[in-house]
Amino acid sequence: MTNRPTSQPVALVLGGVSPHIAVIERLKSLGYWTALADYKDAPPAADYADEHLQISTLDAEAVEQAARDLNAQAVISVCLDQPLPILAQVRQALGIASPLTPVAAHRLTNKDAMKQVLREGGVDTAKWIIADRPEAVKDAVNTDGLRFPVVAKPVGGTGSLGVVFAADEAALTEQLDQSFAMARGGDVLVEEFVEGMELSIDCIVIEGKTHVLLARERHKTWFSEGREATCHATLAPARQTPEIETLMQEQAEACARAFELSDGPMLIQSILTQDGRLVVLEVAGRIGGGPGANRVVELVTGFDYVGASIDQQLGRAVAFETNPDSRVFSANNAYASEGVFDRVTGMDALLADGLVEEHYIYRMQGEDISDHLSGRSRVTAFVVAAETHDALRDRLVQIYDRLDILDTSGRSILRRDIGLHHDL
Protein backbone atom coordinates (compact mmCIF):
# COMPACT_ATOMS: atom_id res chain seq x y z
CA MET A 1 0.00 0.00 0.00
CA THR A 2 1.04 3.56 -0.68
CA ASN A 3 2.77 5.40 2.14
CA ARG A 4 0.43 7.89 3.72
CA PRO A 5 0.93 10.83 6.08
CA THR A 6 0.78 9.45 9.62
CA SER A 7 -0.84 12.64 10.88
CA GLN A 8 -4.04 12.20 8.84
CA PRO A 9 -7.03 10.04 9.73
CA VAL A 10 -7.84 7.40 7.11
CA ALA A 11 -11.19 6.66 5.47
CA LEU A 12 -11.81 3.55 3.37
CA VAL A 13 -14.56 4.12 0.78
CA LEU A 14 -16.38 1.05 -0.57
CA GLY A 15 -17.26 1.33 -4.27
CA GLY A 16 -15.81 3.51 -7.02
CA VAL A 17 -19.07 4.66 -8.59
CA SER A 18 -19.46 8.26 -9.79
CA PRO A 19 -21.50 9.51 -6.79
CA HIS A 20 -18.64 8.47 -4.52
CA ILE A 21 -16.45 11.15 -6.10
CA ALA A 22 -18.36 13.66 -3.98
CA VAL A 23 -17.90 11.38 -0.96
CA ILE A 24 -14.13 11.30 -1.42
CA GLU A 25 -13.98 15.05 -1.95
CA ARG A 26 -16.02 15.64 1.20
CA LEU A 27 -13.79 13.33 3.25
CA LYS A 28 -10.68 15.10 1.98
CA SER A 29 -12.19 18.46 2.97
CA LEU A 30 -12.56 17.04 6.49
CA GLY A 31 -8.87 16.14 6.54
CA TYR A 32 -9.07 12.42 5.73
CA TRP A 33 -6.59 10.47 3.63
CA THR A 34 -8.77 8.33 1.39
CA ALA A 35 -8.48 4.81 0.04
CA LEU A 36 -10.98 3.38 -2.43
CA ALA A 37 -11.92 -0.30 -2.53
CA ASP A 38 -13.21 -1.44 -5.93
CA TYR A 39 -12.34 -4.56 -7.94
CA LYS A 40 -12.43 -2.74 -11.31
CA ASP A 41 -9.28 -1.50 -13.02
CA ALA A 42 -10.41 2.10 -13.37
CA PRO A 43 -13.70 2.91 -11.62
CA PRO A 44 -14.88 6.55 -11.96
CA ALA A 45 -13.89 7.57 -8.42
CA ALA A 46 -10.42 6.01 -8.48
CA ASP A 47 -8.56 9.12 -9.65
CA TYR A 48 -10.00 11.15 -6.77
CA ALA A 49 -8.83 8.86 -3.97
CA ASP A 50 -5.31 8.88 -2.55
CA GLU A 51 -5.10 5.15 -3.24
CA HIS A 52 -7.13 2.59 -5.17
CA LEU A 53 -7.23 -0.92 -3.68
CA GLN A 54 -8.37 -3.41 -6.31
CA ILE A 55 -10.45 -5.59 -4.01
CA SER A 56 -14.12 -6.51 -4.07
CA THR A 57 -16.42 -4.57 -1.78
CA LEU A 58 -18.29 -7.86 -1.25
CA ASP A 59 -15.22 -9.67 0.12
CA ALA A 60 -15.60 -9.10 3.87
CA GLU A 61 -12.22 -10.60 4.72
CA ALA A 62 -10.35 -8.47 2.16
CA VAL A 63 -12.17 -5.28 3.18
CA GLU A 64 -11.52 -5.87 6.86
CA GLN A 65 -7.85 -6.65 6.24
CA ALA A 66 -7.45 -3.50 4.14
CA ALA A 67 -9.07 -1.41 6.87
CA ARG A 68 -6.74 -2.94 9.47
CA ASP A 69 -3.65 -2.44 7.31
CA LEU A 70 -4.61 1.20 6.81
CA ASN A 71 -5.58 1.66 10.45
CA ALA A 72 -8.76 3.22 9.04
CA GLN A 73 -10.81 5.37 11.36
CA ALA A 74 -13.79 5.29 8.99
CA VAL A 75 -15.28 2.83 6.50
CA ILE A 76 -17.80 4.58 4.25
CA SER A 77 -20.35 3.78 1.56
CA VAL A 78 -23.20 6.11 0.64
CA CYS A 79 -25.15 4.93 -2.40
CA LEU A 80 -24.61 1.18 -2.90
CA ASP A 81 -26.81 -1.64 -1.60
CA GLN A 82 -24.68 -4.76 -1.79
CA PRO A 83 -21.72 -3.54 0.31
CA LEU A 84 -23.99 -2.53 3.23
CA PRO A 85 -23.74 -5.88 5.12
CA ILE A 86 -19.95 -5.89 4.61
CA LEU A 87 -19.78 -2.27 5.75
CA ALA A 88 -21.69 -3.02 8.96
CA GLN A 89 -19.75 -6.24 9.61
CA VAL A 90 -16.33 -4.62 9.16
CA ARG A 91 -17.22 -1.64 11.33
CA GLN A 92 -18.37 -3.98 14.07
CA ALA A 93 -15.17 -6.05 13.82
CA LEU A 94 -13.01 -2.93 14.05
CA GLY A 95 -15.03 -1.32 16.83
CA ILE A 96 -16.08 1.61 14.62
CA ALA A 97 -19.44 3.12 15.60
CA SER A 98 -22.06 2.63 12.91
CA PRO A 99 -25.63 3.89 12.41
CA LEU A 100 -26.42 0.58 10.66
CA THR A 101 -26.16 -2.78 12.45
CA PRO A 102 -25.32 -6.02 10.57
CA VAL A 103 -28.87 -7.26 11.21
CA ALA A 104 -30.43 -4.09 9.77
CA ALA A 105 -28.05 -4.18 6.80
CA HIS A 106 -29.12 -7.74 6.00
CA ARG A 107 -32.81 -6.86 6.22
CA LEU A 108 -32.32 -3.89 3.92
CA THR A 109 -30.48 -5.86 1.21
CA ASN A 110 -32.18 -9.26 1.25
CA LYS A 111 -35.54 -8.83 -0.45
CA ASP A 112 -37.25 -11.68 1.40
CA ALA A 113 -36.11 -10.40 4.82
CA MET A 114 -37.07 -6.89 3.73
CA LYS A 115 -40.61 -7.87 2.79
CA GLN A 116 -41.08 -9.75 6.06
CA VAL A 117 -40.00 -6.68 8.03
CA LEU A 118 -42.44 -4.52 6.05
CA ARG A 119 -45.30 -6.93 6.67
CA GLU A 120 -44.54 -7.25 10.37
CA GLY A 121 -44.28 -3.45 10.62
CA GLY A 122 -47.76 -3.01 9.15
CA VAL A 123 -46.44 -1.36 5.97
CA ASP A 124 -48.56 -1.82 2.84
CA THR A 125 -46.53 -3.98 0.45
CA ALA A 126 -47.22 -6.27 -2.51
CA LYS A 127 -47.94 -9.94 -1.83
CA TRP A 128 -44.98 -12.21 -2.60
CA ILE A 129 -43.52 -15.72 -2.54
CA ILE A 130 -39.93 -17.01 -2.53
CA ALA A 131 -38.64 -19.87 -4.69
CA ASP A 132 -35.25 -21.61 -4.80
CA ARG A 133 -35.66 -23.02 -8.32
CA PRO A 134 -37.93 -22.38 -11.33
CA GLU A 135 -39.88 -25.61 -10.82
CA ALA A 136 -40.94 -24.48 -7.34
CA VAL A 137 -42.49 -21.22 -8.51
CA LYS A 138 -45.63 -22.69 -10.10
CA ASP A 139 -46.56 -24.61 -6.95
CA ALA A 140 -45.80 -21.61 -4.73
CA VAL A 141 -47.84 -19.24 -6.88
CA ASN A 142 -50.82 -21.60 -6.85
CA THR A 143 -50.51 -22.36 -3.13
CA ASP A 144 -50.22 -18.73 -2.05
CA GLY A 145 -52.79 -17.43 -4.51
CA LEU A 146 -50.67 -14.77 -6.19
CA ARG A 147 -52.58 -12.86 -8.84
CA PHE A 148 -51.09 -12.12 -12.24
CA PRO A 149 -49.41 -10.04 -13.53
CA VAL A 150 -46.33 -10.54 -11.36
CA VAL A 151 -42.73 -9.36 -11.16
CA ALA A 152 -39.83 -11.74 -10.47
CA LYS A 153 -36.44 -10.60 -9.17
CA PRO A 154 -33.38 -12.09 -7.44
CA VAL A 155 -33.63 -11.91 -3.64
CA GLY A 156 -30.10 -10.56 -3.35
CA GLY A 157 -30.13 -8.46 -6.51
CA THR A 158 -29.91 -4.72 -7.04
CA GLY A 159 -31.21 -2.42 -9.72
CA SER A 160 -33.09 -3.94 -12.67
CA LEU A 161 -30.79 -6.92 -13.23
CA GLY A 162 -32.84 -10.11 -13.45
CA VAL A 163 -36.14 -8.30 -12.92
CA VAL A 164 -38.87 -9.57 -15.27
CA PHE A 165 -42.58 -8.91 -15.71
CA ALA A 166 -45.01 -11.72 -16.48
CA ALA A 167 -48.65 -11.23 -17.45
CA ASP A 168 -49.58 -14.89 -16.92
CA GLU A 169 -48.22 -18.24 -15.79
CA ALA A 170 -46.88 -19.18 -19.22
CA ALA A 171 -44.89 -15.94 -19.49
CA LEU A 172 -43.53 -16.40 -15.97
CA THR A 173 -42.36 -19.93 -16.73
CA GLU A 174 -40.68 -18.70 -19.90
CA GLN A 175 -38.78 -15.88 -18.18
CA LEU A 176 -37.85 -17.31 -14.78
CA ASP A 177 -34.53 -18.62 -16.02
CA GLN A 178 -33.39 -15.02 -16.49
CA SER A 179 -34.10 -14.14 -12.85
CA PHE A 180 -32.48 -17.31 -11.53
CA ALA A 181 -29.41 -16.75 -13.72
CA MET A 182 -28.90 -13.31 -12.17
CA ALA A 183 -29.59 -14.77 -8.70
CA ARG A 184 -26.41 -16.87 -9.10
CA GLY A 185 -27.66 -19.79 -7.06
CA GLY A 186 -29.81 -17.71 -4.74
CA ASP A 187 -33.57 -17.46 -4.38
CA VAL A 188 -35.99 -15.48 -6.51
CA LEU A 189 -38.84 -13.35 -5.20
CA VAL A 190 -42.11 -13.25 -7.15
CA GLU A 191 -44.57 -10.52 -6.18
CA GLU A 192 -47.84 -9.18 -7.50
CA PHE A 193 -47.46 -6.28 -9.92
CA VAL A 194 -49.02 -3.08 -8.56
CA GLU A 195 -50.36 -0.60 -11.11
CA GLY A 196 -49.79 3.10 -10.52
CA MET A 197 -47.24 5.92 -10.43
CA GLU A 198 -43.85 4.71 -9.27
CA LEU A 199 -42.24 7.00 -6.70
CA SER A 200 -38.77 7.17 -5.22
CA ILE A 201 -39.06 8.77 -1.79
CA ASP A 202 -35.80 10.17 -0.46
CA CYS A 203 -35.63 10.38 3.33
CA ILE A 204 -33.17 10.87 6.14
CA VAL A 205 -33.54 9.81 9.76
CA ILE A 206 -31.80 12.13 12.25
CA GLU A 207 -31.71 11.14 15.91
CA GLY A 208 -34.85 9.06 15.48
CA LYS A 209 -36.86 11.67 13.55
CA THR A 210 -37.78 10.76 9.97
CA HIS A 211 -37.70 13.52 7.36
CA VAL A 212 -39.13 13.07 3.86
CA LEU A 213 -36.87 15.15 1.65
CA LEU A 214 -38.33 14.58 -1.78
CA ALA A 215 -40.62 12.35 -3.84
CA ARG A 216 -39.52 11.72 -7.42
CA GLU A 217 -41.59 10.20 -10.22
CA ARG A 218 -39.82 7.29 -11.92
CA HIS A 219 -40.46 7.13 -15.67
CA LYS A 220 -39.73 3.81 -17.35
CA THR A 221 -39.21 2.37 -20.79
CA TRP A 222 -40.61 -1.12 -21.31
CA PHE A 223 -38.79 -3.47 -23.68
CA SER A 224 -38.45 -7.18 -24.51
CA GLU A 225 -42.10 -7.12 -25.60
CA GLY A 226 -43.17 -5.53 -22.33
CA ARG A 227 -41.41 -8.04 -20.08
CA GLU A 228 -38.62 -5.79 -18.78
CA ALA A 229 -38.23 -2.12 -17.93
CA THR A 230 -35.54 0.42 -17.20
CA CYS A 231 -35.87 3.85 -15.59
CA HIS A 232 -34.98 6.49 -18.17
CA ALA A 233 -35.74 9.56 -16.03
CA THR A 234 -37.01 10.89 -12.74
CA LEU A 235 -39.13 14.01 -12.30
CA ALA A 236 -39.02 16.08 -9.11
CA PRO A 237 -40.92 17.09 -7.16
CA ALA A 238 -43.48 14.39 -7.95
CA ARG A 239 -46.96 15.67 -8.75
CA GLN A 240 -48.94 15.00 -5.57
CA THR A 241 -51.63 16.28 -3.18
CA PRO A 242 -51.29 17.29 0.50
CA GLU A 243 -53.04 14.04 1.40
CA ILE A 244 -50.39 12.03 -0.43
CA GLU A 245 -47.63 14.02 1.26
CA THR A 246 -49.11 13.08 4.63
CA LEU A 247 -49.33 9.42 3.59
CA MET A 248 -45.69 9.43 2.47
CA GLN A 249 -44.59 10.83 5.82
CA GLU A 250 -46.60 8.17 7.67
CA GLN A 251 -45.17 5.36 5.53
CA ALA A 252 -41.63 6.70 5.90
CA GLU A 253 -41.98 6.78 9.68
CA ALA A 254 -43.39 3.24 9.65
CA CYS A 255 -40.47 2.00 7.53
CA ALA A 256 -37.89 3.63 9.80
CA ARG A 257 -39.52 2.01 12.85
CA ALA A 258 -39.77 -1.38 11.16
CA PHE A 259 -36.07 -1.44 10.26
CA GLU A 260 -35.05 0.24 13.54
CA LEU A 261 -33.29 3.10 11.75
CA SER A 262 -32.39 5.96 14.07
CA ASP A 263 -29.81 7.71 11.88
CA GLY A 264 -29.03 7.56 8.19
CA PRO A 265 -30.50 7.90 4.70
CA MET A 266 -33.51 5.86 3.62
CA LEU A 267 -34.74 5.35 0.07
CA ILE A 268 -38.28 4.01 -0.41
CA GLN A 269 -39.44 2.63 -3.75
CA SER A 270 -43.24 2.71 -3.87
CA ILE A 271 -46.31 2.72 -6.06
CA LEU A 272 -49.08 5.29 -5.71
CA THR A 273 -52.25 3.55 -6.89
CA GLN A 274 -55.26 5.22 -8.46
CA ASP A 275 -57.30 4.56 -5.32
CA GLY A 276 -54.76 6.40 -3.14
CA ARG A 277 -52.77 3.50 -1.66
CA LEU A 278 -49.03 3.91 -1.26
CA VAL A 279 -47.60 0.41 -1.72
CA VAL A 280 -43.97 0.05 -0.62
CA LEU A 281 -41.94 -2.20 -2.91
CA GLU A 282 -38.48 -1.86 -1.39
CA VAL A 283 -36.58 0.10 1.25
CA ALA A 284 -32.85 0.85 1.13
CA GLY A 285 -30.54 2.21 3.81
CA ARG A 286 -28.68 4.43 1.40
CA ILE A 287 -28.91 7.31 -1.03
CA GLY A 288 -29.96 6.47 -4.58
CA GLY A 289 -27.04 6.00 -6.97
CA GLY A 290 -28.14 8.15 -9.90
CA PRO A 291 -28.00 11.94 -10.19
CA GLY A 292 -31.75 12.10 -9.55
CA ALA A 293 -31.21 10.84 -6.05
CA ASN A 294 -28.10 12.60 -4.82
CA ARG A 295 -27.81 15.83 -6.84
CA VAL A 296 -31.48 16.54 -7.57
CA VAL A 297 -32.39 16.09 -3.91
CA GLU A 298 -29.86 18.77 -3.03
CA LEU A 299 -30.87 21.05 -5.90
CA VAL A 300 -34.59 20.89 -5.08
CA THR A 301 -34.38 20.99 -1.28
CA GLY A 302 -31.11 22.79 -0.60
CA PHE A 303 -30.21 19.98 1.83
CA ASP A 304 -26.72 18.46 1.54
CA TYR A 305 -27.89 14.84 1.35
CA VAL A 306 -24.48 13.32 0.60
CA GLY A 307 -22.71 15.43 3.20
CA ALA A 308 -25.28 14.64 5.88
CA SER A 309 -25.03 10.91 5.19
CA ILE A 310 -21.23 11.04 5.47
CA ASP A 311 -21.47 13.02 8.70
CA GLN A 312 -23.80 10.41 10.18
CA GLN A 313 -21.37 7.63 9.34
CA LEU A 314 -18.58 9.63 10.96
CA GLY A 315 -20.63 10.27 14.08
CA ARG A 316 -20.89 13.99 13.38
CA ALA A 317 -24.00 16.00 14.25
CA VAL A 318 -26.43 16.78 11.41
CA ALA A 319 -28.79 19.75 11.34
CA PHE A 320 -31.90 19.47 9.19
CA GLU A 321 -32.06 22.71 7.25
CA THR A 322 -33.58 23.15 3.78
CA ASN A 323 -33.82 25.95 1.22
CA PRO A 324 -36.32 24.71 -1.42
CA ASP A 325 -36.11 25.63 -5.12
CA SER A 326 -39.49 26.26 -6.77
CA ARG A 327 -38.46 24.89 -10.19
CA VAL A 328 -39.12 21.38 -11.51
CA PHE A 329 -36.14 19.12 -12.15
CA SER A 330 -35.50 15.99 -14.16
CA ALA A 331 -32.59 13.58 -14.08
CA ASN A 332 -32.32 11.89 -17.45
CA ASN A 333 -30.47 8.81 -18.68
CA ALA A 334 -29.44 8.77 -22.34
CA TYR A 335 -29.19 5.31 -23.92
CA ALA A 336 -27.36 4.09 -27.00
CA SER A 337 -27.90 1.26 -29.43
CA GLU A 338 -25.24 -1.38 -29.99
CA GLY A 339 -21.77 -0.16 -30.90
CA VAL A 340 -18.34 0.80 -29.59
CA PHE A 341 -18.65 4.07 -27.69
CA ASP A 342 -16.45 6.95 -28.81
CA ARG A 343 -17.87 10.24 -27.51
CA VAL A 344 -20.83 12.40 -26.54
CA THR A 345 -21.27 15.52 -28.67
CA GLY A 346 -23.27 18.70 -28.06
CA MET A 347 -23.16 18.54 -24.28
CA ASP A 348 -20.61 21.32 -23.79
CA ALA A 349 -22.80 23.74 -25.76
CA LEU A 350 -25.92 22.64 -23.86
CA LEU A 351 -24.15 23.32 -20.56
CA ALA A 352 -22.89 26.70 -21.81
CA ASP A 353 -26.39 27.68 -22.96
CA GLY A 354 -27.87 26.75 -19.59
CA LEU A 355 -30.18 24.04 -20.94
CA VAL A 356 -28.40 21.38 -18.88
CA GLU A 357 -27.52 21.90 -15.22
CA GLU A 358 -25.08 18.98 -14.80
CA HIS A 359 -23.75 16.11 -16.87
CA TYR A 360 -22.32 12.66 -16.04
CA ILE A 361 -20.60 10.05 -18.24
CA TYR A 362 -21.03 6.33 -17.48
CA ARG A 363 -19.11 4.68 -20.34
CA MET A 364 -15.44 4.92 -21.29
CA GLN A 365 -14.16 5.54 -24.83
CA GLY A 366 -13.76 2.24 -26.64
CA GLU A 367 -16.27 0.43 -24.42
CA ASP A 368 -18.74 -1.94 -26.04
CA ILE A 369 -22.38 -0.85 -25.75
CA SER A 370 -24.88 -3.65 -25.30
CA ASP A 371 -27.93 -4.01 -27.50
CA HIS A 372 -29.88 -4.86 -24.33
CA LEU A 373 -31.63 -1.82 -22.88
CA SER A 374 -30.12 -1.72 -19.39
CA GLY A 375 -27.34 -0.09 -17.41
CA ARG A 376 -24.91 -1.47 -19.99
CA SER A 377 -26.43 0.70 -22.72
CA ARG A 378 -26.79 3.81 -20.54
CA VAL A 379 -24.06 6.17 -21.71
CA THR A 380 -24.67 9.49 -20.03
CA ALA A 381 -26.98 11.28 -17.60
CA PHE A 382 -27.91 14.92 -17.28
CA VAL A 383 -30.00 17.16 -15.01
CA VAL A 384 -32.45 19.74 -16.40
CA ALA A 385 -34.45 22.42 -14.57
CA ALA A 386 -37.32 24.68 -15.65
CA GLU A 387 -40.07 26.83 -14.16
CA THR A 388 -42.93 24.59 -15.35
CA HIS A 389 -43.49 21.09 -16.69
CA ASP A 390 -44.22 22.46 -20.18
CA ALA A 391 -41.00 24.47 -20.15
CA LEU A 392 -39.12 21.40 -18.98
CA ARG A 393 -40.47 19.35 -21.87
CA ASP A 394 -39.47 22.09 -24.35
CA ARG A 395 -35.94 22.05 -22.96
CA LEU A 396 -35.74 18.29 -23.24
CA VAL A 397 -36.87 18.38 -26.88
CA GLN A 398 -34.12 20.91 -27.65
CA ILE A 399 -31.56 18.81 -25.80
CA TYR A 400 -32.37 15.63 -27.72
CA ASP A 401 -32.23 17.60 -30.98
CA ARG A 402 -28.69 18.80 -30.20
CA LEU A 403 -27.23 15.93 -28.18
CA ASP A 404 -25.59 12.93 -29.81
CA ILE A 405 -23.68 9.76 -28.94
CA LEU A 406 -21.23 8.52 -31.57
CA ASP A 407 -19.53 5.18 -32.02
CA THR A 408 -15.92 4.81 -33.18
CA SER A 409 -16.99 4.99 -36.84
CA GLY A 410 -18.76 8.31 -36.28
CA ARG A 411 -22.22 6.75 -36.45
CA SER A 412 -24.97 8.14 -34.22
CA ILE A 413 -26.14 5.54 -31.70
CA LEU A 414 -28.22 7.76 -29.39
CA ARG A 415 -31.68 6.33 -28.64
CA ARG A 416 -33.76 9.47 -29.24
CA ASP A 417 -36.92 7.43 -28.91
CA ILE A 418 -36.34 7.10 -25.16
CA GLY A 419 -36.70 10.09 -22.86
CA LEU A 420 -38.90 12.11 -20.54
CA HIS A 421 -39.88 14.47 -23.37
CA HIS A 422 -42.10 11.66 -24.67
CA ASP A 423 -43.85 11.34 -21.28
CA LEU A 424 -44.57 14.93 -20.26
Name 226's Cβ contacts closer than 8 Å, sequence gap at least 6.
Answer: 165, 167
Residue 277 has pLDDT above 90, yes or no: yes
Structure confidence at residue 289 (pLDDT): 80
**62 membership: H or E segment, kind and range:** helix 60-70
pLDDT digits (tens, 9 = 90+) for 322-337: 999 999 999 999 999 9
Query: For a pLDDT cut of 70, what percent of the chain falls above it?
Result: 97
Cα separations (Å) of 87 from 9, 52, 84, 223, 288?
A: 18, 17, 5, 35, 17
Residue 255 has pLDDT above 80, yes or no: yes
Structure confidence at residue 5 (pLDDT): 66
pLDDT digits (tens, 9 = 90+) for 94-116: 999 999 999 999 999 999 999 99
Strand pairing category for 368-369 and 339-345: antiparallel
Name the amino acid, one letter, at 201: I
Structure confidence at residue 242 (pLDDT): 93
Nearest to 118 by CA among 316, 283, 249: 283
Structure confidence at residue 372 (pLDDT): 76
How confident is the model over 28-41, as a mean pLDDT?
96
How confident is the model over 53-72, as a mean pLDDT?
96
- Going along the chain from its start, the domains and CATH numbers come out as 10-98 (3.40.50.20), 127-192 (3.30.1490.20), 197-313 (3.30.470.20), 328-422 (3.30.470.20)
Q: Counting Cβ atoms within 10 Å, is residue 272 exposed (0-12), middle (13-18) or buried (19+)?
A: buried
Q: Count Cβ atoms below 10 Å from residue 394 Cβ, excluding itself.
A: 15
Question: Are the beta carbons of 83 and 90 closer than 8 angstroms?
Answer: no
Name 351's Cβ contacts closer than 8 Å, sequence gap at least 6.
Answer: 359
Strand pairing category for 33-37 and 10-14: parallel
- DSSP letter for each residue of 11-45: EEEE---TTHHHHHHHHHHTT-EEEEE-SSSS-TT
Nearest to 13 by CA among 33, 29, 36, 31: 36
How confident is the model over 60-86, as a mean pLDDT?
96
How confident is the model over 229-243, as a mean pLDDT?
92
Q: Is the pTM of this model over 0.75?
A: yes
pLDDT digits (tens, 9 = 90+) for 156-177: 766 666 788 888 888 888 888 8
Q: Please tell me which residue, 5 or 359, carries the higher pLDDT value.
A: 359
Q: Please tell me which residue, 300 or 130, carries the higher pLDDT value.
A: 300
- Cα separation, 105 vs 89, in Å, equals 9
- Greatest distance between any 2 Cα atoms in the chain: 64
Structure confidence at residue 160 (pLDDT): 67
Q: Please tell me which residue, 361 or 64, carries the higher pLDDT value.
A: 64
Write down the mean pLDDT value for the chain. Answer: 92
How confident is the model over 11-39, as a mean pLDDT?
95
Q: Please tell me which residue, 41 or 134, carries the higher pLDDT value.
A: 41
Residue 1 has pLDDT above 60, yes or no: no
Name 122's Cβ contacts closer than 8 Å, sequence gap at least 6.
Answer: 254, 258
Residue 291 has pLDDT above 90, yes or no: no
Residue 272 has pLDDT above 90, yes or no: yes
Structure confidence at residue 333 (pLDDT): 94
Name 369's Cβ contacts closer than 8 Å, sequence gap at least 6.
Answer: 336, 337, 338, 339, 340, 341, 363, 376, 377, 379, 407, 413
Query: For a pLDDT cut of 90, what percent of the chain falls above it?
Result: 73
Name the amino acid, one letter, at 124: D
